[in-house]
Amino acid sequence: MREDVVIRTVCRAMIPFIQLFALYVILHGSSSAGGGFQGGVIFASAFILYVIAFGIMEVRRRMHEKVVVALSSLGLYIYAGIGILCILFGAGFLGYSAIPLPVSAAETRGLMMEFVEIGIGLTVMAVMTSIFMDISVKEGGED
Amino acid sequence: MIEDLFPLLLTRYNYYMAVIIMMIGLYAMIAKSNLVKKIIGLNIFQTAIFLFYISIADVRGGTAPILIEGSNALYVNPVPHVLILTAIVVSVSTTAVALSLVIRIHREYRTVEEEDLMRMEGGSG
Amino acid sequence: MKKWALLAVIFVGGLLLWAEGGVPAFGDPSAPAYNYVAERYVREAYNETATINIVTAILADYRGYDTLGETTVIFTAGVAVLLLIRREGRL
């Protein structure tokens, strides 16, 4: 990697804010514009910026590809798990209002949607990062 | 005839623009020999479809479908927005799979030109 | 080849441009796309899900099954890319 102090410093300052903004977009999906898909892509863009500034090896050292693939399936497990939880409580698949929480049925649905959004965000973030890591490998097996 | 055409153009310009973008993407998909350019054409095509759907959703004077408390605002149609929100992410996924297939083809044949690939396989290009 | 491609594209595009005369005007409130389904979502979304963003309410609740499928598609695409171009012994 080139030693470019401007790019490295700016990225080091920018990445936490990008990640914070991504979490904001995921968690405010129900009260403003946003949601799991958008926030996940913003979160993945923080990783891509990190790769551009510090090189792929640094990212691999901090976040192994096995972890990325596990996270992508974890998001899907959260989503499908909430659906199956609703079956266990006697409703149909993804019928959120059956889950007994000490709030009204409408608020239960709103709350479960937040968890579903987190699952979507995890999957989208991990898949985008994984695709970028795979495609950014150079020819000849070297990184 | 021409005075009929003019209000059509003025009230449906978004749809006409979507069709023109779609034609550009379709031409790139059919006529270009480079596989990466074909994928870029596919992406342009998809963008045209997104523009078409979002145009369908619009209601004159409507605002974004996020409820404003205590007001009787007119909201645009939220259903096409939902469809396109998922379609955009799926288009990114299909592009990724297509690009990785191109990478594999390049590893095997050292070229991404369709005509060269046809010649290597002995087909009629 | 290029000539035939241009001809085909102009043919398809011409058909679509001709058909655009039949679609409702841009921003028409009485368009058939804005039917009772969308109206019901806008009317009832807050009462039923306590969510003010109607797009999120439809995405994660009313059409949650569809979104589960889309998430599966993304996951499958990630796994497909992984299987296609990751070198052996790296996972």
Contact assignment for C59 to B82 by CB distance below 8 Å: yes
- How far is it, in rounded angstroms, from Cα A139 to Cα B5? 55
How does pLDDT run across A70-114, given as a tens digit for each residue? Answer: 999 999 999 999 999 999 998 888 888 888 888 888 889 988 999
Mutation site for A-interface testing, chosen from C46, C74, C83 by largest number of A Cβ within 10 Å: C74
How far is residue C11's CA from residue C19's CA, in Å, rounded to a whole number?
12
Tens digits of per-residue pLDDT, C37-71?
Answer: 888 998 888 888 888 899 999 998 899 899 999 99
B98: domain CATH number is: 1.10.287.3510
CA-CA distances (angstroms) from residue B29 to B33, B35, B38, B114? Answer: 9, 9, 4, 12
Which residue among B13, B30, B67 places its CB closest to the CB of C26?
A: B13
This prediction has a pTM of: 0.88
CB of C76 less than 8 A from some CB of A: no
* Rounded CA separation B46/B25 (Å): 8
Q: Where are the domains of chain A?
A: 5-135
pLDDT tier, A14 (very low <50, low <70, confident <90, very high otherwise): very high
| Chain A residues near residue C53 by CB distance under 8 angstroms | 29-35
> What is the reported pLDDT for A142?
45
- Helix pair B13-31, C2-19: axis angle to 10 deg: 160
ipTM for the whole complex: 0.86
- Whether residue A135 and residue B89 make contact (CB cut-off 8 A), yes or no, is no
Triad C75, A21, A105: Cα angle to 5°? 70
Distance (Å, whole) CA B41 – CA B23: 10
C-beta of residue B98 within 8 angstroms of C-beta of residue B39:
yes
User: With an 8 Å Cβ cutoff, is B19 touching chain C?
Assistant: yes
Structure tokens at A90: 């006697």
User: pLDDT-based confidence at B102, cuts 50/70/90?
Assistant: very high
Q: Which chains touch C (3 or more CB pairs under 8 A)?
A: A, B
Count of the separate structural domains present in chain B: 1
- pLDDT tens across B11-30, in order? 888 899 999 999 999 999 99
